[in-house]
Structure 1
Amino acid sequence: MAAPDLLFNLRNNFYLGAYQAAINNSEIPNVSPDEAVERDCLVYRSYIALGSNQLVISEIDASAATPLQAVKLLALYLSASENKETTISSLKEWLADPAIGNIPTLRLVAGVIFMHEQDYSEALKHTNAGGTMELHALNVQIYLKMYRSEHAEKQLRLMQQIDEDHTLTQLANAWLNLAVGGSKIQEAYLIFQDFSEKYPMTGLILNGKAVCCMHMGNFDEAESLLLEALNKDAKDAETLSNLVVCCLHLNKPTGRYLSQLKGTHPEHMFVKRLATAEESFERAVQSVA
């Protein structure tokens, strides 16, 4: 008989965006040394997801295991724009080291960082071999960002062969359905609906349902889901950017949400694209004036 998976609930909380619950319920007795490292990685990644990068940087010292050092590297990368080159340089050195370069957490962090950099081919160089469900799920995300849904689907099939009911398999299925669109949107909605019935509601689940609603033209329902998500976390970038889009469709003012998004997440893709569009518009106006 297989031993019980002591970290199942902790992982699940993290995957579904219940970061504070992951932190609060991380005191798990009788874990092995390897499980303790994985537990600590999940806890610190939850802190990063909540924006507490400095806590992670200060608590993980030089004696910590390599997976934890990789998580610290992610916190360093996300905490300061001027140090990004140094952090990426350190990351590349570690990845080139045959003793540690293949550690799954390090490859996962590399995938996340290079995806942030929009260097998708570099990200895939380190994630494509898979090895964990998280790496497969990250591959799905990277391929969808590259508009290569056929490759994302291959990764999803691999995940389904490993564990069809795994939370990450279900999430990856929903992401792919959203990307494909059409009749698949309803299937994506049902996956998020199933999560909302099984687990406490999180911003990730609410945003998932809201995006499905917007695709289906149900903007009123989407707005109420997004406002519920905003009550849970007033600074969440996805909630704020989705609210801007939703309000545009409802002919409602977007200024407040947009200001919050620019103030708290100036590097967000939505903010950057908007700035580019505004610059293009200004140039067009000048050329006509």
Structure 2
Amino acid sequence: MGPDLPINNSDIPNLSPDDALERDSLVFRSYIALGSYQLVISEIDSNAPTPLQAVKFLALYLSDPTQKDLTITNLREWLGDAALANNPILRLVAGIVFMHEQDYNEALKYTHAGGTMELHALNVQIFLKMHRSDYAEKQLKVMQQIDEDHTLTQLANAWLNLAVGGSKIQEANLIFQDFSEKYQMTGLLLNGKAVCCIHMGQFDEAETLLLEALNKASFRSVGRLNDAKDAETLANLVVCSLHLRKSASRYLSQLKLYNPEHVLVKRLSSAEESFDRAIQTRV
């Protein structure tokens, strides 16, 4: 399945204009998830409604690292327009972009008010990245009050359980297992199950799941492992390989090549620099 494979978005009869817009937004975001950034950029013109323009900002941001600053500047201009700033898709994209930038306070400026399940779920992610599982739990409770069985509520619950650890790991594993039985297996689910296995010391099983995730990514975007999920697969394979006393150099090299800004790469570079300084001091 290559990145240009058409997504099944067969016409649904009697959609209201708002529902049709939501459908189009989801379809274009699906193409972004497949790495088809240029398709999204070319098909959404300057006259498109705000939600689609927001999706285009996300595609622009992810497609070209050299244009990130310009994209963020343009995104801020839209967010500064009172008539546009409350659009939930625009706020969601702002949250995603600033989370990528690791500017979590800025991300929360646009997402904290919630309003949609996606915004609440993104808040959970942001709080977990800030190591504030207490705030993430509060967001999860809001989601549970709205719809306890919603897919995003269950995913957010699994993420929080992974962050808390201990006995919660088994609960997270059951959620990912339930999803894997209900839906087609994805890289996100495979990584979720693998991380549970790593926490439980089941490294051989984790490696099998992660290699399956990596194969799916390679099959999807032939030679272009460049989205966040693929990066996490490589990072998890590095950790898993080290626990299995196997060489992790190939996965680490791929991670450095495709995702040089990944936290694992940065931490390793920092450790290597500290080691080199210590050696020079001794010499």
The alignment's TM-score, normalised by the length of structure 1, stands at 0.90
- Structure 1 residue corresponding to 2:207, chosen from 207, 215, 223: 223
- Structure 2 residue corresponding to 1:120, chosen from 104, 126, 147: 104
Give the drift of 1:58. Answer: 1.5
Is the CA contact 2:55–2:93 (under 8 Å) kept in the aligned structure 1? yes
Is the CA contact 2:136–2:160 (under 8 Å) kept in the aligned structure 1? yes
Q: Which residue of 2 aligns with 1:27?
A: 10
> Which residues of structure 1 form unaligned runs of 5+?
1-17
Give the drift of 1:23. Answer: 5.4
Q: Which residue of 2 aligns with 1:268?
A: 262
- Structure 2 residue corresponding to 1:208, chosen from 192, 203, 208: 192
| Closer, same or farther: CA 217–114 of 1 in aligned 2, 3 Å | same
Q: Which residue of 2 aligns with 1:186?
A: 170
Give the drift of 1:267. Answer: 2.5
CA distance in 1, matches of 2:281, 2:23: 57
CA distance in 1, matches of 2:143, 2:190: 24
**Correspondences of 1:11-50 after superposition (within 5 Å):** 24-30=7-13, 31-50=15-34
Give the drift of 1:261. Answer: 1.7
Give the drift of 1:211. Answer: 0.2
Q: Which residue of 1 aligns with 2:221?
A: none
Q: Which residue of 2 aligns with 1:82?
A: 66
Aligned-residue CA RMSD (Å): 1.7
CA distance in 2, matches of 1:145, 1:102: 24
Provide, for residues 70-120 of structure 1, a one-character-per-residue CA deviation record: whole Å limited to 9, x for no partner.
111111111222222221111111111111100000000010111111111
Give the drift of 1:45. Answer: 1.4
Provide, for residues 173-195 of structure 1, a one-character-per-residue CA deviation record: whole Å limited to 9, x for no partner.
00000000000000000000000
Q: Which residue of 2 aligns with 1:251?
A: 245
Q: Which secondary structure does the structure 2 equivalent of 1:99 belong to? A: coil
The alignment's TM-score, normalised by the length of structure 2, stands at 0.91
Structure with higher RCO (Cα < 8 A, 6+ apart):
2
Equivalent position amino acid for 1:263 in 2: L
Give the drift of 1:285. Answer: 1.9
- Structure 2 residue corresponding to 1:150, chosen from 113, 134, 139: 134
Q: Which secondary structure does the structure 2 equivalent of 1:233 belong to? A: helix
| Closer, same or farther: CA 130–288 of 1 in aligned 2, 3 Å | same
Is the CA contact 2:7–2:27 (under 8 Å) kept in the aligned structure 1? no
Give the drift of 1:53. Answer: 1.6
Identity %: 73
Would you say how many aligned residue pairs link Structure 1 and Structure 2?
A: 271
Give the drift of 1:19. Answer: 11
1:52 matched to 2:46: no
CA distance in 2, matches of 1:150, 1:28: 42
1:283 matched to 2:267: no
Equivalent position amino acid for 2:151 in 1: T
CA distance in 1, matches of 2:281, 2:63: 39
Structure 1 segments (4+ residues) deviating >3 Å: none
Equivalent position amino acid for 1:269 in 2: V
CA distance in 2, matches of 1:42, 1:243: 30
